[in-house]
Amino acid sequence: MKIESAFLDISRLDALANRNTAVHRLDPRAKVMTTLIFIVTVISFPRYEISGLIPFFIFPLVLMSLGNIPGVWLMKKTALVLPFAFFIGIFNPLFDTEILMHIGAVPISGGWISFISILIRFVLTVSAALLLIATTGFSGICMGLEKMGVPQIFAVQLLFLYRYLFVLTDEASRMARARDLRSFDGKGMGIKVFGYLIGHLLLRTLDRARRIHHAMICRGFDGEIRLIRQYRLRMSEWGFLFGFSGLFILMRVYNLSVLYGNLITKLLSM
């Protein structure tokens, strides 16, 4: 059941990508380039920056709203990989003990600030990548990469690797179900049997993937990624790309959080 649940969870990305919203109808190249510029801009901040990163949450929030992507699902997927960033930055407070600021009477070292900055960057970049897949689909992303000049063999192999996950999960669920039906009183559940299953799983998935590839060749597959929905760069795509890219550059050059806070302070003091 856990394997099947993971399979359905992966399949939900394709289900979300098949929706018909304003974001889904955009050319994949515009979304890939915008997301790439967003990620580069986010990671370009200094390690002690926190306030300057907060306005960048506008981009994932807009995509989530216009693309009708469930916020709870996005938070769960982001939280699932958040421990990686946590263990990357958790040692910063041990090595960087210089006090940079105070919150009331509590001193805050540079290590804690950089740790929080790492978590914020991680949430921003991972959520942007997930939203890109959920609003474009992996096939659309690979097609966009190919149209942008990425070598065709790399784009096709990337697409096949993604599709191979479905073959692998399907075969694993079948083998796990067969083992459970043949196991009584704990027999057949040991680590030795598990090792045999891993070997057979690799052989079965490779054999099935080979049959799928032969079927694709018989149906005229020539290595080019083709989609049912035809995309082209229109004014809406250029507006999406340059509009958000300009906003990212603006937020990178000017700390909008500080400017907004100073404005509110001046208005309250008048």
pTM exceeding 0.75 = yes
Per-residue pLDDT, averaged over 113-124, amounts to 91
Per-residue pLDDT, averaged over 128-150, amounts to 86
Per-residue pLDDT, averaged over 221-241, amounts to 77
CA atoms within 13 A on the CB side of 99: 7
pLDDT tens by residue, 246-264:
999 999 988 878 777 777 7
Position 127 confidence tier, pLDDT thresholds 50, 70, 90: very high
Strand partners of residue 101: 108
CA pseudo-torsion sign 231, 236, 238, 243: negative
Q: How many CB atoms lie within 10 A of CB 89?
A: 19
Both tokens of 269, joined, read 């003091």
| 33-37, 146-150, 246-250: least confidently modelled range | 146-150
Q: What percent of the chain has pLDDT over 90?
A: 20
Write down the pLDDT at residue 31: 92
Asked whether residue 192 carries a pLDDT value surpassing 80, the answer given is: no
Per-residue pLDDT, averaged over 74-86, amounts to 84
Write down the pLDDT at residue 25: 87
Write down the pLDDT at residue 222: 74
Per-residue pLDDT, averaged over 237-241, amounts to 91
Write down the pLDDT at residue 37: 95
